[in-house]
Amino acid sequence: MGETITLLSKREIEKMRRAGRLAAKLLDHLAPMVQPGVSTLDINDEAEKWTQAHGATSAPLGYHGFPKSICTSVNHVICHGIPNPKQILQEGDIINIDVTPILDGYHGDTSRTFFVGNPSPLAKRLVEVTEKCLIEAIETVKPGSRIGDIGAAIQECAEPQGFSVVRDFVGHGVSNIFHTAPQVPHYGKRGKGKKLRTGMVFTIEPMINEGTWEAVILEDGWTAITKDGKLSAQFEHTIAVTDSGVEILTLPD
């Protein structure tokens, strides 16, 4: 990731809005498939089919050699889980589905963590807190605020609940390039870091763990799991800094 932050024009942000809406609709489309007995490859294949049918391509497919169209991260997988025909969803699992369709050259990047059937009260609380972390982080965004404000809001939301914030992966600038500046850590100090300006577009994607924040990368070079084998949840939106504050670009209509 270069350090140069590109400010997007209104025309470019409109393209990002269209790609983001498509990404949100893709997650809505996949949601009913999240059932016990369904494989993560089934979800991947439906995502690829739907993406192509809507005139878009899947950014993850082939990205630095990533073998599938989406990421499916189940239970103790923090992120970048690879869809697999042998990975069958079980009652009580949680799964993060991360999608990035490219529409007209621009990336819509979003993820949600879904319940498979009825998870434990602890799993539900982790997922609910993680979504709240994302909302509270987005609420800090406006021209003149700082990148550190985003991470601080996430820590202030997660840590009093006894959960931890993953350090190894960050949000990122996104446009017609998948990953670009700025990097957006999910931990930080208020008033520190780069100043936000109108036209900046980036993801906020907190990964919150039940236990330690530490991650281990598996031998496939992609799958990141919690070091202690405990649960992890994630939510992600792509947002734009506007004159008046912030716009979430990855919402359905």
Binding positions: 80, 98, 109, 172, 179, 205, 236
Residue numbers in the known binding site for a divalent metal cation are 98, 109, 172, 205, 236
| Ordered DSSP codes for 176-234 | SSSSEEEEE-SS--TT-SPBP-TT-EEEE--EEESS---EEE-TTSS-EEETTS--EEE
What tokens does 244 get?
């008046």
Secondary structure E strands in 84-206: 94-99, 101-103, 106-107, 110-115, 164-165, 171-173, 180-184, 201-204
Contacts of 167 (CB under 8 A, 6+ apart): 185, 186, 187, 213
Check if the beta carbon of residue 22 is closer than 8 Å to that of residue 59.
Answer: no
117/122 Cα distance (integer angstroms): 14
**Are the C-beta atoms of residues 124 and 93 closer than 8 Å to each other?**
no
Among candidates 193, 115, 186, 102, which has minimal Cα distance to 147? 193
Residue 103 and residue 233: Cα distance in Å, rounded?
Answer: 27
Distances, alpha carbon 167 to alpha carbons 99, 127, 155, 226, 250, in Å = 21, 18, 11, 12, 24
Binding region for substrate? 80, 179
- The answer to whether the CB of 94 falls within 8 A of the CB of 231 is yes
